[in-house]
Amino acid sequence: MTLETVSTNKSFGGTQGVYRHASAETGTDMTFAVFLPPQAEAPGAKLPVLWYLSGLTCTHANVMEKGEYRRVAAELGVIIVCPDTSPRGDDVPDDEGYDFGKGAGFYVDATAEPWRANYRMYSYVTRELPGIVAAHFPADMDRQAITGHSMGGHGALTIALKQPARFRSVSAFAPISAPGQCPWGHKALGGYLGEDRSGWRAHDATALIEDGARVAEILVDQGAADNFLAEQLKPELLQAACETAGIALTLRMQPGYDHSYYFISTFMDDHIRWHAERLFAE
């Protein structure tokens, strides 16, 4: 597999890179970002990996340019990987809405037409891209963590709940906590997976927990002034499921904060440090 380097920039002693490759899963070229901290330059270095999954309308570039993660990642020695949110290209099916189609892959493998050929973001993020990262970067794949924002928070939670042995920790910023019970989720899961709602539960963090999926703990930050909070995000449903299941959920409601990268960047350091404690634990 050929990996094309799109750009590299020195930052906090490390390297912020952007890369492109032909994806077998999506049938398109895919672009992703990797930050290598300065510790990656040491001979034989193998560093832990934190995956960041972005939200609706985003690419790898949103968090790369506005997430403010490099300073603390460089301090702690953590690789940050930021995938795209969907397949791209003129031949890829799309939708007029911002919440479906390009930029809105929802981290599922679509089964409905015309989406199923390209919209395989679950397999891309959990199988294909990790293989590429392991082959081309000094990543310790035995030490992985995952986080994300909004749709990406949904992705991080569901992926970790379905693969708990793979990730040492999981967190989220303003996640879509119960997509089976909100308009964004109804549109995306119905469109990609079909109208049989029983099949949606495997892609819904709250439903997964209700159905027996477990992780030890979850960290969630949520802006209390987020205009999507009541209709789309519903953290109270995740909280109730975690309480019933005995999962240690830390849900921090942050007064005055909205859904933007001003919110995400404010608490990014906290999340990376929280993950690092678990990634570096013996």
Given the residues 150, 169, 171, 177, select the one marked as catalytic.
150
CA distance 7 to 192: 33
Q: In the chain, what's the furthest Cα-to-Cα distance?
A: 52
226 is annotated as an active-site residue: yes
Instruction: Output DSSP code: residue 22.
Output: E
Nearest to 213 by CA among 170, 171, 245: 245
Given the residues 60, 259, 271, 275, select the one marked as catalytic.
259
Name, in order, each residue with C-beta under 8 angstroms of 246's C-beta and a sequence gap of 6 or more.
Answer: none
CA distance 54 to 259: 12
259 is annotated as an active-site residue: yes
CA distance 134 to 123: 16
For the beta sheet containing 14-22, the strands, ordered from the edge strand earlier in sequence to the opposite edge, are: 4-11, 14-22, 29-36, 79-82, 47-53, 139-148, 167-173, 217-223, 248-254
Nearest to 205 by CA among 73, 53, 25: 53
Given the residues 99, 226, 271, 275, select the one marked as catalytic.
226
Q: Residue 161: left if φ>0, alpha if ψ -120 to 50, beta else—which one?
A: alpha
183, 207 in Cβ contact below 8 A? Answer: no
Task: Give the active site residues.
Answer: 150, 226, 259
